[in-house]
Amino acid sequence: MVMKRKSELVGLIVLFLLVGVFVEPKTTESVQPLYITGRVQSVSSGRPLPSLWVVIYEGETAKGRSLTGDDGKYYIGALDNREYKIVVRRGNETLFQEMIRLPQNERYDIRVRE
Protein backbone atom coordinates (compact mmCIF):
# COMPACT_ATOMS: atom_id res chain seq x y z
CA MET A 1 0.00 0.00 0.00
CA VAL A 2 2.80 2.44 0.90
CA MET A 3 4.67 1.46 -2.26
CA LYS A 4 1.55 2.09 -4.39
CA ARG A 5 1.14 5.60 -2.90
CA LYS A 6 4.81 6.37 -3.55
CA SER A 7 4.51 5.34 -7.18
CA GLU A 8 1.32 7.41 -7.56
CA LEU A 9 3.11 10.39 -6.02
CA VAL A 10 6.11 9.93 -8.32
CA GLY A 11 3.73 9.68 -11.30
CA LEU A 12 2.03 12.95 -10.32
CA ILE A 13 5.37 14.72 -9.89
CA VAL A 14 6.52 13.53 -13.32
CA LEU A 15 3.21 14.66 -14.84
CA PHE A 16 3.53 18.15 -13.32
CA LEU A 17 7.11 18.44 -14.55
CA LEU A 18 6.12 17.42 -18.08
CA VAL A 19 3.21 19.86 -18.12
CA GLY A 20 5.58 22.61 -16.95
CA VAL A 21 7.96 21.82 -19.80
CA PHE A 22 5.31 21.94 -22.54
CA VAL A 23 3.17 24.83 -21.30
CA GLU A 24 4.45 28.18 -22.54
CA PRO A 25 4.76 30.68 -19.69
CA LYS A 26 2.60 33.79 -19.90
CA THR A 27 4.39 37.06 -20.31
CA THR A 28 3.05 40.43 -19.33
CA GLU A 29 4.75 42.03 -22.32
CA SER A 30 2.74 42.14 -25.54
CA VAL A 31 4.16 43.18 -28.88
CA GLN A 32 2.22 46.13 -30.21
CA PRO A 33 2.37 47.12 -33.87
CA LEU A 34 4.03 50.50 -34.33
CA TYR A 35 2.81 53.50 -36.29
CA ILE A 36 4.08 56.75 -37.71
CA THR A 37 2.17 60.01 -37.71
CA GLY A 38 2.94 63.63 -38.40
CA ARG A 39 2.23 66.60 -40.56
CA VAL A 40 3.48 67.61 -44.01
CA GLN A 41 4.08 71.36 -44.33
CA SER A 42 5.49 73.83 -46.84
CA VAL A 43 9.14 74.82 -46.28
CA SER A 44 8.48 78.42 -47.32
CA SER A 45 5.15 79.21 -45.66
CA GLY A 46 4.82 76.52 -42.99
CA ARG A 47 1.23 75.90 -44.05
CA PRO A 48 -0.09 72.33 -44.04
CA LEU A 49 -0.11 70.53 -47.39
CA PRO A 50 -3.22 68.44 -48.12
CA SER A 51 -3.67 65.66 -50.67
CA LEU A 52 -0.09 64.38 -50.71
CA TRP A 53 0.75 60.68 -50.45
CA VAL A 54 3.04 59.62 -47.62
CA VAL A 55 4.35 56.12 -48.33
CA ILE A 56 6.46 53.85 -46.10
CA TYR A 57 8.78 51.37 -47.85
CA GLU A 58 10.65 48.38 -46.51
CA GLY A 59 13.19 47.83 -49.26
CA GLU A 60 11.19 48.14 -52.47
CA THR A 61 7.90 47.03 -50.90
CA ALA A 62 5.32 49.62 -49.81
CA LYS A 63 4.28 48.73 -46.25
CA GLY A 64 1.70 51.50 -45.85
CA ARG A 65 0.43 54.76 -47.24
CA SER A 66 -1.65 57.72 -46.18
CA LEU A 67 -3.15 60.70 -47.97
CA THR A 68 -2.60 63.92 -46.00
CA GLY A 69 -5.72 65.65 -44.77
CA ASP A 70 -6.61 69.35 -45.00
CA ASP A 71 -4.43 69.86 -41.90
CA GLY A 72 -1.47 68.10 -43.59
CA LYS A 73 -1.64 65.20 -41.12
CA TYR A 74 -0.97 61.57 -42.00
CA TYR A 75 -1.04 58.26 -40.12
CA ILE A 76 0.35 54.85 -41.11
CA GLY A 77 -0.07 51.89 -38.76
CA ALA A 78 0.77 48.18 -38.54
CA LEU A 79 4.54 48.72 -38.77
CA ASP A 80 7.42 46.92 -37.05
CA ASN A 81 10.49 48.00 -35.13
CA ARG A 82 12.89 48.54 -38.05
CA GLU A 83 14.22 50.97 -40.62
CA TYR A 84 11.96 52.29 -43.38
CA LYS A 85 12.13 54.77 -46.22
CA ILE A 86 9.47 57.46 -45.98
CA VAL A 87 8.48 59.15 -49.25
CA VAL A 88 6.13 62.08 -49.92
CA ARG A 89 4.60 62.27 -53.40
CA ARG A 90 2.29 64.45 -55.43
CA GLY A 91 1.19 62.21 -58.28
CA ASN A 92 4.40 60.71 -59.71
CA GLU A 93 6.59 63.54 -58.35
CA THR A 94 8.70 62.71 -55.28
CA LEU A 95 8.83 65.75 -52.98
CA PHE A 96 10.71 64.15 -50.08
CA GLN A 97 12.39 60.90 -49.11
CA GLU A 98 14.44 59.87 -46.11
CA MET A 99 15.35 56.79 -44.07
CA ILE A 100 13.74 56.60 -40.62
CA ARG A 101 13.80 54.13 -37.75
CA LEU A 102 10.79 53.09 -35.69
CA PRO A 103 9.90 53.46 -32.86
CA GLN A 104 12.23 56.48 -32.55
CA ASN A 105 10.32 58.36 -35.27
CA GLU A 106 6.69 57.64 -34.32
CA ARG A 107 6.03 61.37 -34.64
CA TYR A 108 7.63 62.65 -37.84
CA ASP A 109 6.81 66.06 -39.29
CA ILE A 110 7.99 66.72 -42.85
CA ARG A 111 8.70 70.01 -44.64
CA VAL A 112 8.69 69.99 -48.44
CA ARG A 113 9.12 72.50 -51.25
CA GLU A 114 5.94 73.06 -53.22
Which tens digits make up the pLDDT trace of 72-91?
999 999 999 999 999 999 99
Assess contact for 67 and 73: CB atoms under 8 A.
no
Q: What is the pTM of this model?
A: 0.72
Q: DSSP 3-state helix, strand, coil percentages of the chain (rounded to 5)?
A: 20, 45, 35
pLDDT tens sequence across 33-71 = 899 999 999 999 999 999 999 999 999 999 999 999 999
Going from N- to C-terminal start, the domains of the chain cover: 34-112
Strand 73-79 relative to strand 83-90, pairing: unpaired
Band of pLDDT at residue 32, cut at 50, 70 and 90: confident
Q: Give domain 34-112's CATH number out of 2.60.40.1120, 3.30.1280.10, 3.20.20.150, 3.40.50.1220.
A: 2.60.40.1120
Q: From residue 52, give the alpha-carbon distance in Å to each of 22, 59, 68, 105, 110.
A: 51, 21, 5, 20, 12
